[in-house]
Amino acid sequence: MWNVLLSFSGLVALIQLLFLPFFPESPPYLLLQKEDKAGCLKAMKQLWGEGNYHTEFDDLLKEKAITKGTKIMNVLEVLRERSVYPQLCTMLLLLLSLQLSGLSATANLQESIIPYVSLGVSISELISIIFCSSIIDRFGRRTLLCGGYLLMALILVLLEISLLLSDQFLWLRYCSVILIFLFIIAYGIGP
């Protein structure tokens, strides 16, 4: 049944593709990139309903004035820009550490359970995206980064303990899976 499971993401992408033409462009994109003021106001009304959006529109105009002399860079230009190397290296190391950590393999589970663990990892990523997007404005990025790193460190210590004791207590293997899910959520919320 893996082919059905894998095709599900393709079905979701197809649905998004079919409905995408019915949604307006992003108001900031229309104003800042395309310089279409009327289109920007129309998109705001279409997205947010009838109302007075002059405050938001004025904010976008201020942003446009601030970024007027700033050049928009493509991916290759960003990769050639030496001033962003520390940020790119940090981001790359974080992504590689999560992908290559082998967290899913460390739980020492039966092969029949691994598909459910993979599904749980995906659900954990979804939870972290929803949770992070709802609290980032309240706490700020710095707090989420620091809290995420601290939470990840604590979870990794608990994971190591559960893995060391999993041969003596078989139920700790399932705790390891839960800790992996929590690690992914902490990673998504923070780094």
Quick: pLDDT tens for 145-165.
778 888 888 888 888 888 888
Q: pTM for this structure?
A: 0.46
In this structure, the answer to whether residues 58 and 101 fall within a common structural domain is: no
51 φ/ψ angles, rounded to the nearest 5 degrees: 165, 180
Q: Residue 122: which pLDDT band, with cuts at 50, 70 and 90?
A: confident
* Total domains, the chain: 2
| Residue 18: domain span | 1-69
Quote the pLDDT of residue 117. Answer: 74
Cβ proximity of 138 and 184 under 8 Å: no
In this structure, the answer to whether residues 26 and 41 fall within a common structural domain is: yes
Task: Tell me how long the chain is.
Answer: 191
Neighbours of 127 (CB within 10 A): 15
Quote the pLDDT of residue 96. Answer: 64
Which distant-in-sequence residues (6+ apart) come within 8 Å of 130 by Cβ? none
In this structure, the answer to whether residues 88 and 154 fall within a common structural domain is: yes
In this structure, the answer to whether residues 149 and 124 fall within a common structural domain is: yes
Q: Residue 110: which pLDDT band, with cuts at 50, 70 and 90?
A: low
Q: Which residue has the higher pLDDT, 115 or 107?
A: 115
* Burial of residue 21 (number of CB atoms within 10 Å: 0-12, 13-18, 19+): exposed
